[in-house]
A and B are shown apart, each in its own frame.
Chain A
Amino acid sequence: MDMPLPKIPIGTWIENTISWLTTNFSFITKTISGITETGIDAFIAGLMFFPPWLLIIAFALLAWFLSKSRNIALFTLLGLLLIWNLGLWAATMSTISLVLFSTIIAVAIGIPLGIVAALYESFYKIIMPILDFMQTMPAFVYLIPAIWFFGLGAVPATFATVVFAMPPAIRLTTLGIRQVPKDLIEAADAFGSTKMQKLFKLQLPLATQTIMAGINQTIMLSLSMVVIAAMIGAKGLGGEVWKAIQRLKIGMGFEAGLGVVIVAIILDRITQKIAGNKK
C-alpha cells in the first residue's frame, strides 16, 4: 500500500537535472564521445592488425617482464591460446582495450583526488561519503545517465566503468598516505621539508604498495563493469555473455565467461606482482 503522503519526486529531479545537463552540455559530451570513440576504435584496430599468435607471444613476454614470474607468463600464454581457440579473440581484445582505457582514466583522476583527500581533512570528509555512494549504488544504474550523455557503444561503457571503478584508486591512495607513520612525518618536518617534499620524498614512496593494490582493484572492477556495460552496447566478452543470455545458450555463455576469468586472472596476477615487487 502506498504511503498517504505524496511521493517525493527524487526521480523527477534527477531526470530534470540530467536532461538540463544533456541539452546544455551535449556539445561537450559529444566531443568527448567522439574523441574517446576514435581512440578506443583505433586501439582495438591496432591490436587486431597483428596476427593473434604474435600478440599472444608479446603478451606472455610482457607478463614475464612485468611480473618477473615464469608461471604467470606461462599462464598468460596458455590462457590466451585457449581464448583464441574458442573464437573469442576479437571480443577479448575489445574487452582488454576498454579495461585499460577505463583504468587509465580512473587512475589518472583517482590518485590525485586520493592525494588531496589524504592531505586535506575537509576534502576527505566531503569525498568519503561520495565514494560510499558510488560504490554501493548498483552498477547498472550508472548505465542510464551514460546513455543520456554519450548514446550507445564503447564510450558510455567507459564512462560508467570509470565512475564505478575509481573509488578504490582514491580510497587506497588516501589510505596509503595516511598510513605513513607519524614519527616519520615528524622527522621530515623537523628537517624543514615543504609539503611537496614530504609528499614526493616520503608519503608517496611509502604508499606505493597500497596504491598499487588500489590500482589492482580498479582493474578488477573495470573488468566486471565492462561485462555489465555490454547491455548498453559495449562489445567484447561481455557482449558474448549478453548474447548467450538472450538466446539461453549455456555453452556459449560459459565459454565467454571463461574468457573473462582468464583475462581477470592475468591482469590480477600481474598487477599484484608489480605491487609486491615494489619496495
Chain B
Amino acid sequence: MPKIKVENLIKVFGNNAQKAVELLNKGLTKDEIMNKTRQAVGVGGVSFEVYKGEILVIMGLSGSGKSTLIRCLNRLIEPTAGKIYVDGQEVTAMSLDELREIRRKKFAMVFQRFALFPHKTVLENAEYGLEIQGVDSATRQEKAKQALELVGLKGWEDSYPDQLSGGMQQRVGLARALAVDPDILLMDEAFSALDPLIKREMQDELIALQNRVQKTIVFITHDLDEAIKLGDRIILMKDGKVVQQGTPEEILTNPATEYVEKFVENVDMSKVLTAQSVMKKAGNVAYPKDGPRTALRKMQEAGISSIFVVNREHQVEGVVLAEAAVEASKRGEKDLTNIIEKDIRMVKPDTPINDLFSLMTDIRYPLAVVDDNRKLLGVIVRGSILAGLAGRGNE
C-alpha cells in the first residue's frame, strides 16, 4: 500500500469552482478556463502515489501549482475535488479534529522562508510540535535536543532564530519537523532561500539524514539539480498538471514532452555547466605558517591528498601535496614555504564545465575556483564533473 495516494486532485481559486472543475474534466487548459470563467486553476487534476521511505520530488516553475499541491496534502489549502489517502485513510474526508490529529502525528512541514517563531528560542521552536500535543516539558525538551543534535545544532538551543544564519535557521526548521517523529516530511522549497554552497551542504545532509531516519519525503523545488540529486522519483508539473513522472534517469534520458526536454536543456545551458555549480566547499585549508604535520593532519581529517594554502585574506597561495608534506616533515622543516606549489591552475566560477575537463586531465590536485581577488570559493574534483556530466544523459 502506498504511504500517500492522490487521486485526481483539483484546486481552483475563485467563487465558482464547480464550473471550473466541470471544464477541467472536459479537458480544457488552465488558461482557457481562466478566460472563460475567471477561475484560477492551481492544481488541475493530479494523481500520484508516494511510497514509504522514498523522496518524491515535485518539480515545476513558479505558477505550476506545486506549492498549492503540497499544501493540499495536509489540507492547509482545502482541495476543491479529488481524494487524498494517507495509510489508506482518506484525508479529504476527515473532520477538523481528525485532521488536526493527523497533522500532529503523521505530517511535519519545512518551509521555504523557514517560518520559525521569532519569540521562541531554538529549543522552544524545536519543541513546538510536541508542546501543542501536550507532551510534558522534560520529554519534549529531550526529543527536541535530539532533533537539534541530528541537524548539527547542538549548543545553539538558547539562541533566538534571528541570531542564526539562513542555513542554520533552516536546520532549526528541519529539527522542528523531525522532533515530532513524523512519518511524512513535507518540504516546500526548503533549500531555495539558501545560497548555493549552503544549499548543496543541506542537500547532502538531508540525504545522509534520510539514510538514518527513513521518512517518506515529499520535496518541492524549482531546481532540476536539486530534484535529480534528492529525488528517488520526480514529478514534473506545468500549469497545474503532471507532465512527466519517473526516476531522474528516465526524465533526463527520455523527456516525455517538448516542455520537459526544454526544461532539461535550459538547466544545462544556463547554470549547471559552470564551475560554480559543480564545485565543492574546500573541506580544509592550510596556512603558510602551518607546519608540515599540521597540514598532513588537516588532509587526513578531510580525507584528501592535497591541500590548498591560503593567506589571511583567504587568497590562494598554492597547493601542498601529501607526499611533499611527508618529505618536509622528515627533513624537519617548520613551515610549508618550501613545498608550496605556487604555479597552480585556477578557474573563475563562471568557467564552462567543458573547459574544466581539459584543465583537469594532468594535475594531481583539485582545481581551485577563485574570485577576481584570488579568494578561494571552492574546489572541483574530477569526480564531481563526471557526475555532473553523467547525470545529464548524452550532453
Residues of chain A whose beta carbon lies under 8 Å from any beta carbon of chain B: 181, 183-184, 186-194, 197, 201-202, 205-206, 279
Contact = CB atoms under 8 A, between A and B. Distances in A.
B103 A192 contact: yes
Interface string B85-108: 000000000000000111110011
Given A189-B76, A189-B103, A206-B119, A194 B109 contact: no
User: Chain B, interface size: which category?
Assistant: 20 to 34
A279 B119 contact: yes
Interface stretch (B128-136, B246-254, B297-305): B128-136
B115 A191 contact: no
A192 B104 contact: yes
14 contacts: A183-B113, A183-B115, A186-B76, A186-B111, A189-B103, A191-B104, A191-B128, A192-B101, A192-B102, A192-B104, A192-B133, A193-B100, A193-B132, A194-B132
Contacts of A202: 117
A244 B240 CA distance: 75
Contacts of A183: 111, 113, 115
Nearest to A190: B109
Nearest to A208: B119
B119 A191 contact: no
B221 interface: no
Given A187-B109, A201-B131, A201-B132, A192 B115 contact: no
Given A184-B115, A191-B103, 13 more contacts: A186-B76, A186-B115, A187-B109, A188-B128, A188-B132, A190-B74, A190-B103, A190-B108, A190-B109, A191-B109, A192-B133, A194-B100, A206-B119
B180 A191 contact: yes
Contacts of A279: 119
A189 B99 CA distance: 10
A225 to B, nearest CB: 34
Nearest to A183: B115
A192 B74 CA distance: 10
Interface in B179-217: 180, 186
Contacts of B100: 192-194
Interface of B: 74, 76, 100-104, 107-109, 111, 113, 115-119, 128-129, 131-133, 176, 180, 186
B211 to A, nearest CB: 25
Contacts of A201: 128, 131-132
Contacts of A206: 118-119
A184 B114 CA distance: 9
B108 A191 contact: yes
A205 B119 contact: yes
A197 B132 contact: yes
B217 to A, nearest CB: 15
A180 to B, nearest CB: 10
B132 A191 contact: yes
Contacts of A192: 100-104, 129, 132-133
Contacts of B132: 188, 191-194, 197, 201
A198 to B, nearest CB: 9
B131 A190 contact: no
B342 to A, nearest CB: 50
Contacts of A197: 132
Given A192-B133, A197-B132, A187 B101 contact: no
The listed residue with most A CB atoms (<10 A of its CB), out of B74, B101, B113, B132, is B132
A234 to B, nearest CB: 40
B269 to A, nearest CB: 33
Contacts of B109: 187, 190-191
A208 to B, nearest CB: 8
A192 to B, nearest CB: 4
A191 B186 CA distance: 11
Contact of A187 (B102, B107, B111): B111
Contacts of A190: 74, 76, 103, 107-109, 186
A231 B117 CA distance: 49
Contacts of B102: 192
A192 B129 CA distance: 8
A187 B103 contact: no
B118 to A, nearest CB: 7
A207 to B, nearest CB: 10
Contacts of B128: 188, 191, 201
A205 B121 CA distance: 13
A104 B263 CA distance: 63
B5 to A, nearest CB: 20
B300 to A, nearest CB: 42
Nearest to A189: B76
The listed residue with most B CB atoms (<10 A of its CB), out of A184, A191, A202, is A191
A190 B182 CA distance: 12
Contacts of B111: 183, 186-187
A205 B119 CA distance: 7
Contacts of B113: 183
Please list the 3 inter-chain residue pairs (A to B) with the smallest Cβ-Cβ separation, ordered nearest first. A192-B104, A192-B103, A187-B115
B179 to A, nearest CB: 10
Contacts of A193: 100, 132
A186 B76 CA distance: 7
Contacts of B115: 181, 183-184, 186-187
